[in-house]
Each structure stands twice: as C-alpha cells, then as structure tokens.
Structure 1
Amino acid sequence: MSTPGDESRTELAWREIVEHYGDRPVLDDDTRPVASPVAPAVGRDAAEDDEHDDGDDEVEAVAAVDRFEPPAPPPFPTPRTWQRGVAWAGIFLAPALALVIGLLSIYVAPLVGWALVAWFVGGFGYLVFVMPRAPRDPWDDGSRI
C-alpha cells in the first residue's frame, strides 16, 4: 500500500525529472521571440494596436518568406483491373470451392472440377506475369512504413 507521502515524493521526483530534462538553449537578452502573426483581438482599440505594432511588419514579412511549400503530391496509382480481382478470386475461391465440394460429397460434372483447377492455375499465372520485374528503386529492400 502506498501512503499519501509516497505519492507526493513520486510526483516531486517526476517534476524534477521533467524540469531538468534535456539541454536548454541560452538566449541573449536582446533577442525577441518570433511570434506567429495573429489576428488582432476583438475589443482592442486602435491606440492599443499602435502600441504593440513595433516590428510586427518585420515578423509578418519573415513569416511570409519562410513559409513551407509542400512538394507536389505523387500521381495516383493505377487502378487495379478486374482481371486481378478474378485472378485473386481464383487463388482463394477455387480451392475453397473444391474443398467444399469434396467435403460435402456433392456430385459435379468433371468439367467443373477441371474449370476450378484451370481458374487456380490461370489466376496464379496471371499474377506472376503482371508482377514487377525489378524493384522500384535499386536500393529498395521492400520494406514500407
């Protein structure tokens, strides 16, 4: 069981760790923190705006120049064709159907069995055929984040 004194000691220890975590930069007294341009508060009059505007124009000019411009987005990937869907269905659905037919002892024409085998082999062959021949990047190890 913990006592209330233990919790306060633990809390004080955590606060001390957080306060002393990492190196803190030493700032000169003459440097001013750069604030992001903010719309004037509602209710302030023009006299207050004039008092606080010393140098805000410079901050806005620097902020406008140093704005981040994101790179152009990559093109959309090509949509998957219906042939790939049929091929993947052949990989998974044809063996599942053959298993169900075999387990339930359902009589089907031999042509249906050969069609399931052909669907599986054809789907597998198609997926291997459309596989990329080389990696996208020569140094690509295949991992994606």
Structure 2
Amino acid sequence: MQRDDPDYDDAAWQAIVDNYGERAELDLPADPEAAAVGQRADEPVDEPVDEPVDEPVEEPVEEDRFVPDQPPPVPVPPADRLLAWLGVFGSPTVLLASVILGIGLPGWLTGLLVAGFVGGFCYLVIRSPGSPRDPWDDGARV
C-alpha cells in the first residue's frame, strides 16, 4: 500500500485504533547506521537530490487584507476643561517629581498645586453629564 493510496490513511488509523493501549512492536534495523538516522532496515535509502526544486511561491493578495480606516483626530477640549485636566494630572506629577528628585517647594506652591488638583477634580465632576447622551445607548460599540 502506497502513501498516495486513499485507503492508506484509513488503514493507518485502523492500526492505531487496533493497537490502542498496547505496546507497539518495533522492527529494529539491522544496520546500526540506519538506526542512528531513524530509518528502518527494510526501507529504501533515499539519495540526496542535487537539483533545486522550483516551487511556485504564492504572494499574499493585497485585496484580502483588512485595512482599517484612519481614526478621527483627537478632539481638543475647551479651555476650561483642559485647565481642569491639567490640574488633575499635572499637579500630582509636579509634586511626585519634586519628592523623587528631592527638590523642596515653597509652602504656597505646594498649597496651590493641591488646590489645583482638588479644584480641577471638583470642576470635572460638576461638569460631567448626569445622564447619557443617548438614553438608549448601553455603552457597547462594535
């Protein structure tokens, strides 16, 4: 039975199923050199081929790839909200950097940074909408 024969696969699977759970009996090669390369003694030895094999190389088709649309530009918030966001993120950053670098800040500047953080946070909470823009929107986007 040859490997090209369609019944070869069926016979191979049937042999696996028949021998499931049993220890397989292996034919040991008589030639120790064949054993080193993992070849059975009754199999013919393949001679190396010196000629290169020209196989067609399939190049990917560009039209089959998904190319997403360009994302919209990031909107710039109004000046009041931008200032509030700078207070929420900028003040702790400056305070943390001064502590890590060991730079002493005057008390009035530290108080101003803390006030900027608290004020920016409160402003953003007050200005946040109390209900969704679309009452039927559950927040899921596809």
TM-score, normalized by the shorter chain, greater than 0.5: no
Whichever of the two has the greater Rg, that structure is: 2
